[in-house]
Amino acid sequence: MVSNHCNCHCFQVPGGLAADRFGGKWLYGGRVLLSSVVSLLTPAAARIHIGVLITLRVLSGLGEGVMVPAVYAMIARWSVPKYRSLIVCVILIGRIPTR
């Protein structure tokens, strides 16, 4: 769990730079593909060795880290400037912490 969250926070800045360079659509699509493959391999990795499982969780964190910058890059390119803050607000409503 910790390896996922550490990578998630460490890769947000590089993810933002990559989203500006390559576009959020490709970065987000790659993240979904990576997350899907990691999820499929997780049960087998848990049976093989704990190190393999931790490696998969690190890869999962890498994908999580580029997700948020990719979403903001897509919003910046695809939304009308007049409604951009409304779109961000609607997207972030689901991310309100409940603590």
Q: Which residues make Cβ contacts (< 8 Å) with residue 25, sequence separation at least 6?
A: 70, 74
Q: What is the pLDDT of residue 96?
A: 62
pTM score, whole prediction: 0.68
Q: How far is CA 4 from CA 22, 24, 34, 75, 80, in A?
A: 24, 21, 13, 25, 34
Q: Average pLDDT in the 5-27 region?
A: 78
How much of the chain exceeds pLDDT 70, in percent? 86
- Reported as type and span, the H/E element at residue 69 is helix 50-78
- The number of beta carbons lying within 10 Å of the beta carbon of residue 64 is 20
**Mean pLDDT rounded to a whole number for the chain:** 81
Q: Where in the chain are the domains?
A: 2-95
Residue 31 near residue 69, CB atoms below 8 Å: no
Q: What is the pLDDT of residues 50-82, one digit of tens each?
A: 999 888 888 887 777 788 888 888 888 888 889
Q: How far is CA 33 from CA 40, 50, 60, 77, 86, in A?
A: 11, 23, 11, 22, 29
Binned at pLDDT 50, 70 and 90, residue 47 comes out as very high
